[in-house]
Structure 1
């Protein structure tokens, strides 16, 4: 569970650092490629990438030790980390309800920490790896066809697709039993992990470009927590400590609900642009709210 929380801290902090680097890089000309090249030369962006890599290692370690439902809820809590770090580094003002949501996330994780047992002892049915690969392909198709989705539901569907893709990664890590090269080449879970992660990033990028950040992130949180948690319980043998199943369910629901309340931090908020002298201060609003 410590590794899961470490992954959440890494991912949440990386989001803010990369947002700061992208903001500074956005002052020059050129297109998206030029923006990326300017951003990647900044130490904050590189630090964010390093934190993402470290967070993934923490995630893998956590998935090999504790149930998927606990890891999924902990990863969703990275939104709380982003909110707190953004309040410090980006001087984003959190409302009382948002600070309350951060506390709710912490309470849910505390309940999960008390109630969760060790990871399940089952390897799952033989078809599960192929099922995860099928889901990964579906997520890839959703991401590639994002522009063809209904406009009103586009952000939610792409967000859900990204969540399912990251969920495939969570399950696939548990399904990989051997690291021998010959076994990895023949294991469908390996291809599900690689394709699911790439497809998830594609769908999430498309969702953030084509719709509401809050809606897309809400779909992401739902997709990456509920589905993998059910797979872990039903097919991989994830259980709770004796007599504490109710506490695990409550902690999971509370933690996810708190993360959904912080969904606008799925993309780190930007500082408001300087007010135009001809515009009344009362007409401005917080970016990302």
Structure 2
């Protein structure tokens, strides 16, 4: 659980550091590509990328040690980290409801920490490995369909697709037993991890490019938590401590609800970049 929370802190802080870099790099024209080239020259943006990498390693360690439902809820809490750090570093004003949501996330994670057991002992079957690869392909197909829509429907569907892709990554990590190259090359879960992760980033980028940040992020949080948690419980043997199933369910629901209330912080870099060009308050009016 410490690794999962560490990953959430890394992802949340990385978002804010990249937001600061985007703000400093704003202006000068050249479009998004030029903005990115200016941002990567700054230590804050590079530090954010390093934190993303560290967070991914911590996520893998957590997925190999505790149930998927606990990791998913912890990762969703990165929005709370981003919100608090944004209030401090980006001078974004959090409403009383949003500060309450941060507390709700913390309460939900505390309940999950008390109730979650160890990683399930049931090994993933070959059928589940192939199912994850098929699911990764379905994420790509979902992206093709969602890209044809407009408005909130587009953002929601692409956000959900991105969440499903990240969920494929979470489950696939549990299905990879050996890191030896011959084993990886013959394990469908390894390909599912690559395809699912790549598709998730593409869909989320597309959703945030021309859609509602709040809607897309909410869809992503739902997609990357509920499905993988169900797979972990049903097929991988994830369980809670004896007699505390109710507390785990409650904690999971509370943590996700709190994260959804903070969904507007799902893409602080884009909002900060917009502020640099327009002079509006960072983070305000998302969606």
Could you tell me which residue of structure 2 aligns to residue 23 of structure 1? 23
- Partners in 1 of 2:237 and 2:193 — Cα distance? 20
RMSD over equivalenced CA pairs, Å: 1.5
Contact in 2 for aligned 1:105/1:259 (Cα 8 Å): yes
Which is greater in Rg?
1
- Partners in 1 of 2:150 and 2:18 — Cα distance? 30
| Cα shift at 1:274 | 4.3
Could you tell me which residue of structure 2 aligns to residue 83 of structure 1? 83
Question: 1:32-71 counterparts in 2 under 5 A?
Answer: 32-71=32-71
Listed one character per residue, the Cα deviations across residues 122-145 of structure 1 (whole Å, up to 9, x for unaligned) are: 112221111111111121233345
Counting helix residues as a fraction of each chain, which structure ranks higher? 2
Question: 1:209-220 counterparts in 2 under 5 A?
Answer: 209-220=209-220
Residue ranges of structure 2 left out of the alignment (5+ in a row): none
Q: Does 1:123 align with 2:123?
A: yes
Residue ranges of structure 1 left out of the alignment (5+ in a row): 276-284
Could you tell me which residue of structure 1 aligns to residue 286 of structure 2? 288
Could you tell me which residue of structure 2 aligns to residue 243 of structure 1? 243
TM-score by length of 1: 0.93
Q: Does 1:224 align with 2:248?
A: no
Q: Does 1:265 align with 2:285?
A: no
Listed one character per residue, the Cα deviations across residues 205-264 of structure 1 (whole Å, up to 9, x for unaligned) are: 011012110000000000000000000000000000000000000000000000000000
- Partners in 2 of 1:255 and 1:83 — Cα distance? 15
| Cα shift at 1:28 | 1.5
Once superposed, which parts of structure 1, at least 4 consecutive aligned residues long, lie more than 4 Å away? Answer: 271-275
- Partners in 1 of 2:81 and 2:140 — Cα distance? 28
Listed one character per residue, the Cα deviations across residues 248-287 of structure 1 (whole Å, up to 9, x for unaligned) are: 0000000000000000000114359547xxxxxxxxx934
Report how many residues are paired.
280
Q: Relative contact order (C-alpha < 8 Å, sep 6+): which is higher?
A: 2
